[in-house]
């Protein structure tokens, strides 16, 4: 009744921001992401009859905020297995937690996969998608490798997730410029809910999104980097315009985030194949072709306020760690 799973975080190039159903945690838009090999969440779950409640240790500390969503995922798994045992969950990230590096995505992907394995369940992939989505709307994408599409349109009330491009087919690289390791003041869950309720731009975001998603998918089909670059920056800035126009405003950038954006735009204008994206936090992710990674890394490291850079190739979907033989 014990298993460990590992998942990579992911970064959306065509993003979701806002839900259509908060109870089912259904995103209001689809999304398209890349899975970030090189960064890991490792989660061990043990179901144990001695426990009186579920327990979570995140990076060695009890985490009450993650508890409710975690219990929801565990309840679904318990229901599948027909058991009522509580679980001890220990999760650790090898990158900053809760700072806009998608730790909730890798966290809930690893939790779902580890929990299913600990209970001996072999669930269909789309059921793992549904359960992990109850924890975080971006988590299903960390179950899959490479370029990943989360589709909300083809089956109303559900989400379908799949790889659209294996890592080796289009080996993009992502260099993360870390500009702060502080936890963000407003979580994405709270932030996107207030954008839905209190930004005049929310309807425009949702109605213009299907075209962005269709274009993004076709960029992957055609491996058209420059078209993807323009589109992903547009979609990212549109999401942040929505966040900034929320009352009270959500401004996730630091001065260094903006300096990195301008540096990336200048590199691309100079012919370097790179573009940026930024999630609900101040880190910048520079997506580039492999031949550009050294130039991009060096440029980002020279920007005041960049604390470190992290290198990612495209990674695989979440997996169960084999049990070490004694
Ligand atoms: O998965 P959540 O609910 O933590 O929200 C993720 C939101 C963004 O990272 C900003 C966008 C996305 O699609 O990942």
pTM of the shown model: 0.96
Q: How many other C-beta atoms are found inside a 10 Å radius of the C-beta of residue 149?
A: 21
Per-residue pLDDT at 65: 57
Q: Pick from 280, 282, 284 the residue to mutate for probing ligand 1's pocket: most ligand atoms within 8 Å of its CB.
A: 280
CB 107 within 8 A of CB 143: no
Q: Pick from 102, 109, 148 the residue to mutate for probing ligand 1's pocket: most ligand atoms within 8 Å of its CB.
A: 102
**CA distances in angstroms from 18 to 86, 113, 150, 205, 239, listed in the order given:** 32, 25, 14, 10, 10
Per-residue pLDDT at 229: 98
Cα gap 54→74, rounded to integer Å: 9
CB 47 within 8 A of CB 178: no
Per-residue pLDDT at 21: 92
Per-residue pLDDT at 35: 98
The three-class DSSP label of residue 96 is coil
- Greatest Cα pair distance in the chain: 62
Domains of the chain: 2-166 (3.30.230.10), 173-314 (3.30.70.890)
**Centre of ligand 1 from the C-alpha of residue 289, in Å:** 24
Q: Which of left, alpha, beta for 18 (phi over 0: left; psi -120 to 50: alpha)?
A: left
**Centre of ligand 1 from the C-alpha of residue 42, in Å:** 20
pLDDT, block means (10 residues), the chain with 326 residues: 97 97 94 96 96 91 77 97 96 79 89 98 98 96 98 93 98 96 83 95 97 98 98 98 97 96 98 97 96 98 96 98 80
- The answer to whether the CB of 212 is under 6 A from ligand 1 is no
Cα gap 19→127, rounded to integer Å: 19
């Amino acid at each position: 009744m014990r298993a460990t799973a590992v998942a990579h975080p992911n970064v959306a190039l065509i993003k979701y921001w806002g839900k259509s159903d908060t109870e089912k945690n259904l995103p209001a838009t689809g999304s398209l992401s890349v899975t970030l090999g090189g960064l890991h969440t490792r989660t061990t779950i043990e179901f144990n009859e001695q426990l009186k409640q579920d327990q979570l240790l995140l990076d060695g500390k009890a985490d009450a905020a993650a508890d409710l969503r975690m219990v929801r995922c565990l309840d679904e798994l318990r229901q599948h297995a027909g058991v009522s045992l509580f679980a001890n969950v220990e999760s650790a990230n090898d990158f900053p937690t809760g700072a806009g590096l998608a730790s909730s995505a890798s966290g809930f992907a690893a939790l779902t996969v580890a929990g299913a394995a600990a209970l001996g369940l072999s669930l269909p992939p789309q059921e793992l998608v549904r359960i992990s989505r109850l924890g975080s709307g971006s988590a299903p994408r960390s179950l899959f490798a490479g370029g990943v599409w989360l589709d909300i349109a083809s089956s109303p009330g559900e989400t379908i997730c799949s790889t659209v491009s294996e890592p080796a087919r289009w080996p993009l690289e992502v260099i993360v410029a870390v500009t702060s390791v502080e936890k963000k003041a407003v979580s994405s869950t709270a932030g996107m809910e207030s954008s839905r309720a209190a930004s005049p731009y929310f309807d425009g975001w949702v109605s213009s999104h299907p075209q962005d998603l269709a274009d993004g998918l076709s960029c992957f089909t055609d491996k058209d980097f420059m078209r993807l670059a323009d589109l992903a920056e547009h979609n990212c800035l549109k999401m942040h315009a929505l966040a900034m126009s929320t009352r009270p405003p959500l401004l996730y950038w630091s001065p260094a985030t903006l300096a990195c954006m301008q540096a990336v735009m200048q590199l691309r204008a100079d012919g370097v194949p790179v573009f940026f994206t930024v999630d609900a936090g101040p880190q910048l992710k520079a997506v580039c072709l492999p031949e550009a990674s050294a130039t991009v890394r060096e440029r980002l490291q020279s920007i005041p306020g960049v604390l470190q850079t992290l290198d990612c190739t495209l990674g695989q979907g979440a997996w169960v760690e084999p049990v070490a033989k004694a």
